[in-house]
Every structure is written in C-alpha cells, then in structure tokens.
Structure 1
Amino acid sequence: MVMNKADETFDRSILDNRARSVAHLFTQRVAKSPHEEGFRFAKDGAWKSMTWAQTDKDVRAIAAGLISLGIEGQERVAIASSTRLEWVLADLGTMLAGAATTTVYPTSQLKDVVHILTDSGSRIVFAEDAEQVDKLRQGRDQIGEIVKVVTFGGEGDGDWVITLDDLQKLGEELLAKEPNVVEERMEGIQPEHLATLIYTSGTTGPAKGVRLPHSAWAYEAAAVDSTGLLNSDDVQYLWLPLAHVFGKMLLCLPMQVGFPTVVDGRVDKIVENLPETKPTWMGAAPRIFEKVYARINGMMEADGGVKLKLYKWSVGVGMQVAEARAQGHEPSGALAAKYKLADKLVLAKIRDRFGGQIRYFISGSAALNKDVALWFSAVGMPVLEGYGLSESSAAASVNRPYLGANQAGTVGWPLPGTEFKLGEDDELLVKGPGVMQGYWNLEEETSRVLVDGWFHTGDIGAIDESGHIRITDRKKDLFKTSNGKYVSPGAIEAMFKGVCPYASNLVVEGDGRKFVSALITLDEEAIAGWAEKNGMAGKSYRDIVTSDACREMVQGYVDEMNLQLNRWEQIKRFIILPRDLSIEEGEITPSLKLKRRVVVEKFKGDLDGLYTD
C-alpha cells in the first residue's frame, strides 16, 4: 500500500496490472466470476438477471456479427440509444470486435446526428427503436458511410436495417465456421488503440469528438478500484446516459471490481426502482440530488407541527455528526446518543426510501450545492462529489468516504496516477493516463488545450493544504459587471438550489451591465405541491409561476440568498419563466448541464427589459 499527501491509501499493484483493453477487462471478469450476476434489468414488468457468462455469450455473438459485416479494428460503430441493457451489449460487442464506439444521444436533433456520424466516419449504427431508425433514414443521403443500422426495438427492412437478433445470428454463423474469430480480433487490440469517440455537447459550434483509447478506460477502472471505494459486494444502479463519459466510466467499474449493475435509463423510475433493487451506490448528476432534497424538505414543511420539528432536530443532529466525520472523528458521548435516536426516529426512514442499503452516492458533471451535500451526509447517505470531463475519461478526482476525507464543497483528491496544477488565472490543468489523445480531426484545437501532456480544463479552481480540489467556475462563464466586479454565475446558481426548495434552474446574467439579474425556473412537481396549499390547486404551471403570490415567495428566497453574497453579486431583478428549461429546446445537455450562453441568448430580449430604467 502506498501513502501520499492527497490520498488515503491505494493499492499500486491494481494500478500497475490494469487490463490491456476494455475487451480484455470484460473477458477477464467473465473468467473470474462467470456464474455471478453481471447485469439486472427490467423486462415484462419484472427484474431479470444475466450472469457474466451469459453476457459473454451475447457479446461475442454481437462482436462476430460486426466482424461478419466487415468492421475492422478501430472503425467506428455508433450507438443511438438511451441507457438499457442492449446499449451495454452493443458497446461490449464493439470492444471485442476491436472497433470503437461513437456515442449519440437519442435526444439529438437530426443535424447533430448527421454531424457526429459523418465526422466520425461511423459505418454501423445501433438504433434504439423506430424513432431513431426514422431519424437515420431522414439523414441517410448525408451519412452515406453507414452500411447497416441495427435496431434494438424496431423491425428490420431486409436491407439497410436489421434487428439485434439478426446481427447475433450472423455472428453465431461466423463463430460456427471460425470459433476463434473474436479472440483473434482481440489479440490485435493495443492499449493506445481508439476505444471511444465521445462527442462533447458544446454550447457553440459543432460538437467535438474526444478520442479516448482503451488505456484510458482501463486506467479509470483500475484507479478507482485501487482506492478501495468499491468491492464485489456492492450493487450499482446505473441510469446515467451511457452516451455521456460519466455513464461510460460507470460501465467499466463493474468489470474491474466484479459487482452487479442494475441498468435502467428511465429517470422517472429511479425513485420507484431503488427500494426494489436495493443498490449500495449510484452515480448521478446534481439535479437528481437537488430534486430529492427539495422534495423531502417540501413534504416535511407541508406536514408542519411536531413532525416537522422532529425532522429538523434529527437532520440537525445528523449535520453535527457529518461535520465531526468530516473533521476525522466519530461522534461520542451525548452526540452519539442523540444520533442513535435521530437515526431510529427519522434518518433511517429516509434511507429506506432509497432501498436502505446505500453506502454513498457519487455526483459529477456539474457543481453540487454544499447545503444539499451536507443534508445527504446528515441522513447517512453521503454524496462523494467528483470532477472530470469528457477529455479526462470522466473522473480525474473524487472525494472518499473515509473519516476526514469527504469534504463538502470540494471535488476531492486526484485519482492515483492523475496530477493537478493551477495555470494562468488559476485554471485547473490535469495530466494522467485518463487524459484524451486529442480531438478527432481537430489538430489545432487539440494543440491549444493539450500542452506537454497537461489538459487545460477551462475551469477555475484551487487546491487546499489537504490536497482537496475546489472548482470556482468555468473560466468562460466568469463575467465582469460595468462596475468592474467579477461575478461567478455557477457558484450563485448552485447556491440558489440549496436555498429555494422549489428551484429548478437559475441563470445568472450581468456581463457588462450595471447589476446582476437572473432567469428562474421552478420544479413542476414541487411547485404544484406549493400551489395546493396556497389556493391554486389544479392551476397550470404557467398560471402558478406567473402569479403574484409565487413571485413574492421566490423573492423571499432570492433575498435570503443575497444575504450570503457580496453586494455586486446580488440578484437585483429576476424573471420567472413560464416553463422550465429542457433538453428538447437545447437549453440543457442530456447530462443535465445548463447551456448558459444558449439560454441567455434565447431570452436576451426579456433580460434587456430588466435594465431599461
């Protein structure tokens, strides 16, 4: 075991003996635990399971099917689908065939799909259903290199479109003639070979393809494993988009460590599925934690009376315990006794809503409000916030669930083998085996952000004495008011979500203006509950959020937040939008990150109106 300042302990032997490729990572797991549960998924109203050996059989048939269709090493195979078991199988089949997966969000518009498929030179596309197939047919003339579309849930047309079963039958036929065809293809895979093209959902210009080799994914899996964060007794709940780098990394971890993964990309089913599947951990974007925090607090406020007092007391005790653990010691004496009672009366019941087995959550993709993080620690389900980008194969740093290690408001310590340093203007620079090879077909852009092995993240941050990393904001999002004062919009936006239990999004504006303003959207479910208790039951979302009573309520939370801000950062005026921001309107990425510039430009006229006098 190796000790260093910015980490607990990690097992260097795991890091040094990582797999050669994703394909080898998978086949090694199959060899180690063939009859153990690999994946769990919903089918026909019930939960079904596949062992690693059963998964291997399907994956090899898919790999051989791709080979029979002429796919060569490192050629691109795209997947346009939400998170489901077939995504996993298609990706692993692509890995065993020595090809490279190109990820496509199923919500992507046709022009974006055409750009990704043509830019990547993808030759086969896995399409989730008839809707995705129709989209590909519309763009067929522009994506001429696609030789076959393989649909998960649709029907074949006997020509361009075949089903997943059709592909597997092709593979089985090839395997019957050439039993070693997949092993022979795997023999040619080298660590530096392309494994994945992840297209960044940028706010301006066409998306860029991030080139991630097999070595990057093998490193990510081994680095996390070496920290002892996970073990073979864990159960993962995986709902994140597998087209996103965070989701893809979470797919590599069970192959490294050997635990089962529940796969279900239906976001509206998470709360229902957790008690049924009883996972021990789950990765998520901050929005999920914010919604849970707001919903439970809103329910307690609505109940009021003794129940609310007991809840607040219990969470307050939990907060004290969380603070003690953050400082490196377990509670004792009177605090330990109070915590035992609070846990029995309230906190354990909250955990039961999540299946009762959660050890911790992992949050990534955007900043998590510190108050929200502390609340989860208080109820006994700590959120380990991490940091990474598509360009770093997801995780570059993460908090640890050990005494004194999980510091709310930070993104933790670097993964073993990854380095951080501060560049010009305190920009975070990252170096390590997980950093991309570069952008696909964009040498000039690559050379601008990747200098001497250091990736320039574009994020402003700090590194404290304990080695924990803090993110202040995106460098490009910082703005200066007309009074010359810098404002960090991301920090204010995250703060508001911790203050206002009804908040969905806050978009801060004020670049070159005399004061800071904001666009506000409210969570539809939460505000409906508020409306019922304020004489507006049954009214539409638009009617509720545009009412004087709602504005007065929101103003109160804005005022409360402003007390925590410098004078020049305070929100002087705001607009409550009559609808929430959405992925469909291009205002939020599929990984639930705000496209601030897109939103500000779209509502520029409304914002300008706030500055007319």
Structure 2
Amino acid sequence: MSLESSSAQTINDLFRHAVTREKKGFLNYKRDGAWQAMSARELAEQVRAATMGLYALGVRSGDRVAILSENRVEWTVADFAVLNGGAVDVPIYATQAEKQVGYILQDAGVEVLFISNQKQYDRVREVLTNRTKLRAIISFDKIDTGAIGGRVMPFDEFLNWGRAADQAEPELFDTLSQSVTPDALATLIYTSGTTGEPKGVMLSHRNLTHVIVGNLDRSQVTENDTALSFLPFSHILERATITMLLHARCTIFYAESVDSVPANLLHARPHFMTSVPRLFEKIYAKTLEKAEAGGALKTRLANWSFDIARQYGELASEKKEIPGGLKFKHKIADKLVLSKWRAAMGGRIRLLVSGGAPLARELALIFYGAGLPIYEGYGLTESAPTISVNYPGANRLGSVGKPAGGVEVRIAEDGEILAAGPNIMLGYYNRPEATAEALTTDAEGRVWLHTGDIGHLDKDGFLYITDRKKDLLKTSGGKYIAPQPIENALKRSRFINQVVVIGDNRKFPAALIVPQKDGLK
C-alpha cells in the first residue's frame, strides 16, 4: 500500500494522487468508431473545469447533482467534479424506468442533471419538465431540447464556462476540493427493492475511501497493469472499482457495451476485470457452442479439457498435490483448448473479480484450472460495497472470501449475516424507519448492517452465502427450500437464460425458465 493510499481520507485525496503525475493513454474509449485516449493531465483539467462550471451554476457543498448516462469518459469527469466541489452525486441507471427517474430526481432534490444523449433525453423528457428544483441540464452529446432548451447546456460549452470561472478565481478549486471532510456525504445511490419506491443509500467519503484503498491493497493492481471496465458506473461495484483503478494509475479501457466485451478483451488485453457471474457463464457457454459448431470431435475435446481444468482447479486452488497423470492431461488440455481460451480473453488475465450474484463453484473451478482465476466477493450498496472478498493468497472457491480489513462479520441466530465497519452506510435518505430496520447499534457502539442474506463462516474465517433471508421457500409439507443452489445449477446450462424456482405453500418446487434463444437454434 502506498503512502498516498494509507493517508487518503476522501475520494478527492484519491483523485489528486491519480492525476499528480502525467500518464499518457490513462483512459481509453471508443468514439465514432475509433479508439481515443485521455491523459492524466487532460482528466485533471476537465475535472477542474467541470467543478468550477458547477460552482458557477450555483452548486454548493451538499447540493445534489445526478448523472443519467451510459458508461463513458464524461461520466467519470462529472463524477469527480461533483465530489471535488463538495456536492453529492446521484447516479441513475441508464435503463431506469422513466417513473423511477422522476422519483429519484424529486426525492434526492437534484438541482443539476448530467445526461448522455438525445435518446436518453427523449426517454425522460416528460419527467424533466415537471421538476421545478432542477435548475440546469448538461448534455454530454448535443441534443435538441425543444421548448425547454433554456435549461440545457452542451458539455463542451459547460467546460468552457468552468474554465472562465477558474481563470477568475484560480485558487477556488483547491479550496473546494480540500475542504471536503471524510464524513461528508459523497453519494446517494438508489437501490431498487422488490416492493415500493427505491431507497437512497447514503455513503460518505470515508465509507468509499476505506473500501477502495482496501480493495487496491488486496488486488495488487499497479500502474503497469491494464483493466477493462464494462459494468455500469451507476452500480456501486463498478463505481468503487473505477476509482480504485484510477487511484492505482493503471491503463483503463472503457468497453463499448456488454455485447462488445469479447472484442474489447482482444483489443485491450487486460490484466484485470470486474464482472458479474452471468458474463462468465456466457463466455463458457459460447466456447462450448463454438466447439459444437466444429463437430463431434471438437465437442468431445472441449468437454474433456474443461473437465480436466475442473479437476486441476479443485486441487490447485486448495494448494494440494496434483497427481502426475492429471498434470500430464492438463498440459495436453492446455495446449489444445485452454491456452486458446485464455488468448480469446486477451492472453494477459491475472485477476477476474466476480460480484453482484453467486458464482457457481464448478464454473469457478473450470476458470481457475484454465489459468483464469476468478476471485469472488460479497457486499451490498449499503456496505460501499465490500464486506468480504477472495484475493490472491486467500482464495477459497465456493466462498465469498474473508471479511475485508476493518470489517467485522457475525452470523445472527437465524443465520442472517451481519456486518460492521467503516464501510457501512450512514442510512437511507429520508427513510428513518427503513434505516432503523437495516442498522442496529450494539452496547459497544458498533453499527451492524442486517444484510438480509443467510450464510455461515467456516473454521478459517471464509464466508459462505446460502440464500436470501426472504427467498427461502416453505412447501405445504413444512419443508424449507433454498432456491439459489437449484437456480445456479440450472443456469449452468447453455440452453437457459434466466430461471426462478417457486414452491412456497406448494407440494413441491418448480422452475420457471426463460430459454437462451441462441442455444436453441
């Protein structure tokens, strides 16, 4: 861990370290069909200009600024500009329903909105016209706003406005950035529950910085590494990850979309990538599809190679002795199939991180045995997000790792996972009752987050998730069934896209399946 990391207390501290020295090709993104690069100096200049632009718009400490956009470099600039100015950013999913976008803007009291493009603007135009507190809209791409064009400013014009404000008060940016305290509210992230309106999770600079610094220390990512980012920045996992990668000063590639990840892997050749299990499942299924397209011999060879990888991964991940026969078979499998699989993912993968949903152990074993180790972690938006994580040197497949540094985990009498530490949220915005349900304080003053997940710790301190507390099914015969293991087993089939197990108050469980159309052709 660097001195800068250990002393960082706010996201602004992390950002200053990221841009303190020049780095060419820091952020890489595709625009108009061609890859472009932004240097550390250019990033610092744009964030400074955007911060001053917000100040010129009247945004002050604690004010709410929303970002409604797909992943792009302007998202990153806007995010750090909001935080450096002492304001609070409110990320909104680019796919969020129009009604929920309106609710979030209203509930958070958003005064300025960054929006990506014409398509996004047209989608939410109606809810924007009814938000009287919304004083300005800044569009990353130029858009035709129609009758309410007076409130919309193109991003380039906004940056120029900020540069003029910076020239008028050249010392103000540093004053604003350095006056932000660790306990200041950094972001409001709205989680979509199964019922009711989304709740705004309040995370401080201290919450986020603690997680980011710890994740960087465990991941061992350095400025010599390259990373590919594709998960939405509006999700806490990728939000924390992109800040960690920037702080590490590694070379970052922004994927064009989820569908373009395979092509972007070949172009970027990353050492590091964060993903959700579904992408790993698709990568595996696609590899088997290609083998099947090559005929029966290639199909048998691929299945044999992946089975050898699974057996090898089972022993190697536990650092157990590998029999000579298995070593020999693994060398053959690697030469014929596994090495080609690694090459298809860029050929340099050292660290894959999985979160957001359970990762099937069998799939993790196959990837591990193929030389593509996946390190599974666990957390919630309410924990910023890391509660526990596997990492090089402490990776137990099937678990979600040991509790992260500074985080305490205990299992309640009913099996629920509770977590305490400097990463735990301040609460739900304007939801005191929901906050009281989620957070409890013990006699020693520690605040415990009730995760709603069921799990257990093994003798070595590795955490295992078995199910959601509310998801347990009870048949009419009184038997409790955990649906997740069944769903995970079924989802390993390349013919299945999504699946849900039902059975509450029924004689037996059943599964509703959405087929994978490509696999059925």
TM-based fold match above 0.5 = yes
Indicate whether 1:430 and 2:414 are aligned.
Answer: no
Alpha-carbon separation, structure 2, partners of 1:213 and 1:26: 16
Aligned residue number for residue 282 of structure 2: 291
Indicate whether 1:144 and 2:111 are aligned.
Answer: no
Q: How has the CA–CA distance of structure 1 residues 330 and 145 changed in structure 2, closer, same or farther, with 3 Å as cutoff?
A: farther
Aligned residue number for residue 163 of structure 2: 172
Aligned residue number for residue 85 of structure 1: 73
Aligned residue number for residue 335 of structure 2: 344
Question: For 1:541-594, what per-residue CA distance to the aligned partner results, in whole angstroms no more than 9, with x for missing partners?
Answer: xxxxxxxxxxxxxxxxxxxxxxxxxxxxxxxxxxxxxxxxxxxxxxxxxxxxxx
Alpha-carbon separation, structure 1, partners of 2:87 and 2:270: 32
Aligned residue number for residue 444 of structure 2: none
The correspondence of residues 196-207 of structure 1 with structure 2, limited to 5 A, is: 196-207=187-198
Indicate whether 1:448 and 2:437 are aligned.
Answer: yes
TM-score, with length taken from structure 2? 0.95
Specify the SS of the correspondent of 2:452.
strand
Alpha-carbon separation, structure 2, partners of 1:371 and 1:332: 20
Specify the SS of the correspondent of 1:505.
strand
Q: How has the CA–CA distance of structure 1 residues 116 and 491 changed in structure 2, closer, same or farther, with 3 Å as cutoff?
A: same
Q: How has the CA–CA distance of structure 1 residues 12 and 427 changed in structure 2, closer, same or farther, with 3 Å as cutoff?
A: farther
Aligned residue number for residue 126 of structure 1: 114
**Post-superposition offset of 1:368:** 1.5
Specify the SS of the correspondent of 1:170.
helix
Alpha-carbon separation, structure 2, partners of 1:265 and 1:286: 19
**Post-superposition offset of 1:20:** 2.2
Alpha-carbon separation, structure 1, partners of 2:117 and 2:391: 39
Question: For 1:364-410, what per-residue CA distance to the aligned partner results, in whole angstroms no more than 9, with x for missing partners?
Answer: 111112222222112211211110110011222111233xx322221
The correspondence of residues 361-376 of structure 1 with structure 2, limited to 5 A, is: 361-376=352-367
Q: How has the CA–CA distance of structure 1 residues 265 and 432 changed in structure 2, closer, same or farther, with 3 Å as cutoff?
A: farther
The 8 Å contact of residues 118 and 144 in structure 2, kept in 1 or not, is answered as no
Alpha-carbon separation, structure 2, partners of 1:112 and 1:475: 26
Alpha-carbon separation, structure 2, partners of 1:35 and 1:106: 30
In structure 1, list runs of 5 or more residues that go unmatched: 1-10, 529-613
**Post-superposition offset of 1:61:** 0.6
Report the AA paired with residue 464 of structure 2.
R
Q: How has the CA–CA distance of structure 1 residues 465 and 139 changed in structure 2, closer, same or farther, with 3 Å as cutoff?
A: same
The 8 Å contact of residues 121 and 145 in structure 1, kept in 2 or not, is answered as yes
**Post-superposition offset of 1:297:** 1.9
Aligned counterpart in structure 2 of residue 245 of structure 1, from 224, 229, 236: 236
The 8 Å contact of residues 288 and 302 in structure 2, kept in 1 or not, is answered as no
Alpha-carbon separation, structure 2, partners of 1:330 and 1:412: 23
The 8 Å contact of residues 14 and 222 in structure 1, kept in 2 or not, is answered as no
Once the two structures are overlaid, the 10-residue window that deviates more, 256-265 or 390-399, is 256-265
**Post-superposition offset of 1:329:** 4.4
The 8 Å contact of residues 82 and 265 in structure 1, kept in 2 or not, is answered as no
Alpha-carbon separation, structure 1, partners of 2:294 and 2:204: 53
Indicate whether 1:99 and 2:87 are aligned.
Answer: yes
Aligned residue number for residue 549 of structure 1: none
- Alignment root-mean-square deviation, CA: 1.8
Alpha-carbon separation, structure 1, partners of 2:348 and 2:68: 33
Aligned residue number for residue 40 of structure 2: 52
Specify the SS of the correspondent of 1:356.
coil
Aligned counterpart in structure 2 of residue 229 of structure 1, from 210, 220, 227: 220
**Post-superposition offset of 1:136:** 4.2
Specify the SS of the correspondent of 1:139.
helix
Alpha-carbon separation, structure 2, partners of 1:395 and 1:278: 26
**Post-superposition offset of 1:127:** 0.6
Alpha-carbon separation, structure 2, partners of 1:242 and 1:360: 20
Alpha-carbon separation, structure 1, partners of 2:387 and 2:141: 36
Specify the SS of the correspondent of 1:425.
coil
**Post-superposition offset of 1:309:** 3.1
Aligned residue number for residue 64 of structure 2: 76
Question: For 1:203-225, what per-residue CA distance to the aligned partner results, in whole angstroms no more than 9, with x for missing partners?
Answer: 11000000011111111111112
**Post-superposition offset of 1:13:** 7.0
Identical positions, percent: 36
Specify the SS of the correspondent of 1:182.
helix
Question: For 1:499-527, what per-residue CA distance to the aligned partner results, in whole angstroms no more than 9, with x for missing partners?
Answer: x2211111111111111112101122222
